[in-house]
Amino acid sequence: MISSKKIDPMFGRTDVSLVGRWWWTVDRLSLGALILLIVIGAVLVMAASPPVALRLELDPNHFIYRKLLLVIPAIVIVIFTSMLSPGVVRRIATIGLAISLVLLFWTVIGGTEVKGARRWISLGGLLLQPSELVKPTLAITAAAILAGAPVRKSRWAHLITAALLALVVGLLLMQPDFGMAMVVSGVWFVQLFVAGISLYWDIGLLLCVGLVALVSYLYLPHVAGRIDQFIDPAIGDRYQVDKALEALRVGGFLGRGPGEGQVKSVLPDAHSDFIFAVAGEEFGVLAGLIIVMLFALVVVRGLWRLSSEKDSFVLLSAVGLLVQFGGQAVANIGVNLHLLPTKGMTLPFISYGGSSMLAMAIGMGMFLALTKERVGSRNLNGWSKLQHYGAMNQ
Amino acid sequence: MRRILIGTSALPDSPDDSKSSYKGSSRSRLFTVLGLFILCFAVLSARLIDVSLLRDGGEPSITRAGSDRPGATGRADILDRNGVLLATTLRTPSLYANPRVLLDPEEAAKKLTTVLPDLSYNVLIQKLISKRSFAWLKRGLTPLQQHQVNSLGIPGLGFLDEYRRIYPQADLTSHIVGFCGIDNVGLSGIESRYNAELTAPDRLGQAISLSLDIRVQNVLHNELSEAVKTFQAVGAAGVVMDVESGEILAMVSLPDFDPNRFSEANAESRFNRASLGIYEMGSTFKAFTVAAALDTGIINLKSRYDATNPLRVARYWIRDDHAKNRWLSVPEIFIYSSNIGAAKMALDLGGDRQKAFLDKLGLLSPSTVELPEVAKPMWPQPWREDSTMTVGFGHGIAVSPIKIAAAIASLVNGGYRIDETLIRGKSVSAKPGDRVKSVSAKPGDRVVSAHTSKMMRALLRLVVTDGTGSQAEAVGYSVGGKTGTAEKPGKRGYRRDALISSFVGVFPSVAPRFLVLAVLDEPKGTKATHGFAGGGWTAAPTVSRVISKIGPMLDVMPIREKDAESHMILEISSEEENLEAF
């Protein structure tokens, strides 16, 4: 009824061009939230990064330029990727996984060592972090394998994805990058959980996770150190966490105002892992809550919409992408609020970091692509049923 | 309905696809994930509000850094016995520059010299034009100076907090409290001796309480300074001690220094004469000779010695400064400070017993006072007969003033050995003036009998009433004591012109509670003293003034002496009096 009266066909309901179809089928609310997060990230890097750049004896605007250089490409990637069809997404992801596995090998062999870990490779002057690219591609490939297998062969599908995961985790641990290994394992676990493996397996896997955690605590000193610091404030260096908490407290409800923050000048990772604290100090709890709400919006709305998704591939891959996105956000903000032990994890779209930003853009673009409205993609029940009836009644 | 896209052809589209195994439980499990995420985001939001809005602004998140609560500074305070601060640690800002960021070094240096006039422009400019990224400009600024530097608005300057040891009493306690280096490690005095305890993490914030009473310290310091000025002495040492507990209420060594600026102090002023200096104390030692002789019973107060003629010992002559040239009774030998009499008495006592007695008093070992600066005493080796004689009147043996104080206190406190201490409450009788009634309850080893101790009190009192120490009298405090005047050893024998003049006084002598020792190094006689520079003329009046001032502080009630002393009147048994009687 809207479109019929519109003279301009552009973006009308009747617009059947590629862009028009995309606009009316994509989840516009989630898209808006993601773009807003990217923009907020740009603003926050502007606020947080100059002191860090100065400390590293770079141009004060170094990180700002590089971030701004990424903002437009990131938005473009999100939109462009979201236009793809689920099949193309699957194919791209499979190829992407293969490429990123090669790059991961390369990283382990000839990567650039930064702070004692080989996580980056240099490609034509650009430092790339292949592990970022592994996350979305692995999630989608695993989903395809799980969804593609017939019921009686589901056990084999589980094993294949587990083998794939083991390969990736093995490569990540060689870097070493425990945080990333945890993320991919967690995503895989949730995918398997949603895919419906038996509860015994769920519990068994959780026990495995507990065992691995215990072993790391006992045998990896830096893991033990992090946990001990988290539990007992008197032990070790909690400098960054304490400063982050102080920043949030000082910020109050509306913050000190843009550029007025102090904590960024003393936090080494003000522009990446602790950018949330900078946001809290300069723009207040309000900004912090808005950021949390934006992440929550995308994750909760995405999962809610998936509840009526019938396509197993779409369901599992979208869950994987959302869990990665939401999990990283929760982990990062949790560290900033001292709810979790310190773990180097970026805040999706907001922290500074090119590879993370682009990979996240690809991942969330694919998520949008997968969750577009398709004929017969939904079980007709709940609110979606009403919506469909409404649409039909028109 | 072209507006609805067709799903991927590769995937099953039909709603009731039987191939998919993810049907029934899938939805509920998805909701589980959804619920967990909602929970996570809710917890994050709540925590965010809690951390920033509901948290009390003053509540520190950790217990160590960022505040000046006791213990935060890394070094505990040092207090006197009444809790007066002797040493503390303050957080002070130190100014540094990052010359790379500095826009205009000349202007910055010019501005800085206006606020910090003690900085030289040339030195500043050297630091500011350097290519380094860090240069200290000034350590330990005051808050006012920090504010002024900040007001200059020079970019590239910054402050780092440092912890600085502050000694509020400055030179008053320099030798006792000592000082710390720039890195806050104790280098002398209590600071060095108790460095580990002061910095021990498990007792941070627990101050160390010294036995010192800063008021008494102040009196002693003032009076000794005055004496040094009056008699143009090169130095002085003094001690005020509780004779029952051995607690040191005051200990002064002059010249001294300001521990806040220890680097400006020379070696002479850093030297603690009271504990590290050892001196031949002269006649003071006669107290030990007499006490030993009385206690062993070889003499009594009626015994007499011939002091008619000087005594020849090896190459030397032993003469009396206040020569009477006649037979002298034991009290006379003591109050007129007869060297001849004391030497003969020491001979009667014998070298072995003399040495054993001095050892029992602790005079032959280094002081146990809680300072790193203690000296070993020097005594004759071998201990021959002539040594016995000279030690009898305090020559040939050199000990530190603090040991003399403790030894005399041991003689008068009822006869038990006490050890000098600077730590409050270390000994059994903790409180000053805590009278320990029963002699048997005394903690230390007995050195002389209670009777001998009583006789020594009377003899010391006699020195003040009738002998060389008359100028030590402080009305109402019944001072007893002994003068000491010794020639300092020079390159060629003893120097007649360089004396160690001392007076050790105890009060009230009926039942002594406190001891005051004053030692002057090379005092010169004045018109008022008729050119005399001996202990009775220089140190005794100093002790008198100290006692008159600290008596009231230490709750010693003035007494009417005739009443109090009626039971301890001692017969001098002078030959002169006997002659008169004839």
**Residue B181 gets which letter from DSSP?**
-
Q: Mapping DSSP to helix (H, G, I), strand (E, B) and coil, where does residue B306 land?
A: strand
Q: Is the pTM higher than 0.90?
A: no
Give CA–CA dist B25/B20, Å, rounded.
12
Give CA–CA dist A275/A63, Å, rounded.
13
Average pLDDT over residues B561-570: 58
CB contact under 8 A, B4 and A234: no
List, in order, residues 6 or more apart from A69 with CB less than 8 Å away.
Answer: none
CB contact under 8 A, A245 and B19: no
What's the one-letter identity of residue A244? A
CB contact under 8 A, B63 and A233: yes
Chain A residues in contact with B39 by the CB 8 A cut-off are: none
pLDDT the model gives residue B439: 36
Percent of chain A with pLDDT over 70: 84
CATH architecture of the domain B217-496+514-581 equals 3-Layer(aba) Sandwich (3.40)
Contacting A residues, span 188-217, partner chain B, CB-CB under 8 Å = 190, 193-196
Confidence band for B67, pLDDT divided at 50, 70 and 90: very low
Whether A258 has its CB under 8 Å from any CB of chain B: the answer is no
The gap from C-alpha B309 to its chain's centroid, in whole angstroms, comes to: 45
* Cβ atoms of residues B387 and B280 within 8 Å: no
CB contact under 8 A, A87 and B55: no
**Residue B54 gets which letter from DSSP?**
I
CA atoms within 13 A on the CB side of B574: 15
CB contact under 8 A, B44 and A334: yes
Residues forming beta bridges with residue B517, ordered by sequence position: B239, B504
- A191, with CB counted inside 10 A (0-12, 13-18, 19+), is buried
> Where is pLDDT greater, at B93 or B492?
B93
Top residue of B41, B63, B101, B161 to mutate, by most chain A CBs within 10 Å, is B41
ipTM for the assembly: 0.86
Give the residue extent of every domain in chain B.
217-496+514-581
Strand B208-209, strand B78-79: pairing: parallel
Confidence band for A341, pLDDT divided at 50, 70 and 90: confident
Give CA–CA dist B193/B212, Å, rounded.
16
Of A234, A280, A337, the CB nearest to B63: A234
> Where is pLDDT greater, at B321 or A81?
A81
Closest chain A C-alpha to B34 CA, distance in angstroms? 6
**Residue B557 gets which letter from DSSP?**
P
Give CA–CA dist B358/B471, Å, rounded.
28
Give the range among A204-208, A268-272, A353-357, B70-74 with minimum mean pLDDT.
Answer: B70-74
Average pLDDT, whole number, for chain B? Answer: 82
Of B11, B21, B10, residue with least CA distance to A195? B21
Confidence band for B581, pLDDT divided at 50, 70 and 90: very low
CA atoms within 13 A on the CB side of A31: 23
CB contact under 8 A, A147 and B14: no
Active-site choice (B275, B283, B427, B478)? B283
B35: nearest CA partner in chain A: A300
pLDDT the model gives residue B238: 95
Confidence band for A217, pLDDT divided at 50, 70 and 90: confident
Strand B208-209, strand A126-128: pairing: unpaired
CB contact under 8 A, A288 and B33: no
Of B15, B23, B38, the CB nearest to A376: B15
Chain B residues in contact with A191 by the CB 8 A cut-off are: none
Whether A248 has its CB under 8 Å from any CB of chain B: the answer is yes
Active site residue B573: no
Confidence band for B53, pLDDT divided at 50, 70 and 90: confident
pLDDT the model gives residue A48: 79
CB contact under 8 A, B40 and A193: no
Phi, psi dihedral angles at B489 (to 5 degrees)? -70, 135
Q: Mapping DSSP to helix (H, G, I), strand (E, B) and coil, where does residue A305 land?
A: helix
Chain A residues in contact with B2 by the CB 8 A cut-off are: 16
Question: Would you call the peptide bond into B382 cis, given omega within 30 degrees of 0 as the criterion?
Answer: yes
> Got the DSSP string for B398-456?
EE-HHHHHHHHHHHHTTSB----BSBTT-SSS-STT-----GGG-SS-B-S-HHHHHHH
- 3-state secondary structure string across B103-144: CCHHHHHHHHHHHCCCCCHHHHHHHHCCCCCCEEEECCCCHH
Average pLDDT, whole number, for chain A? Answer: 81
Closest chain B C-alpha to A69 CA, distance in angstroms? 28
**Residue B6 gets which letter from DSSP?**
P
A 10 A CB-CB count for B325 gives: 11
pLDDT (tens digit, 9 = 90+) per residue, B431-452? 344 444 333 344 578 899 999 9
pLDDT the model gives residue A297: 94
Give CA–CA dist B321/B340, Å, rounded.
10
Average pLDDT over residues B377-385: 88
> Where is pLDDT greater, at B557 or B216?
B216
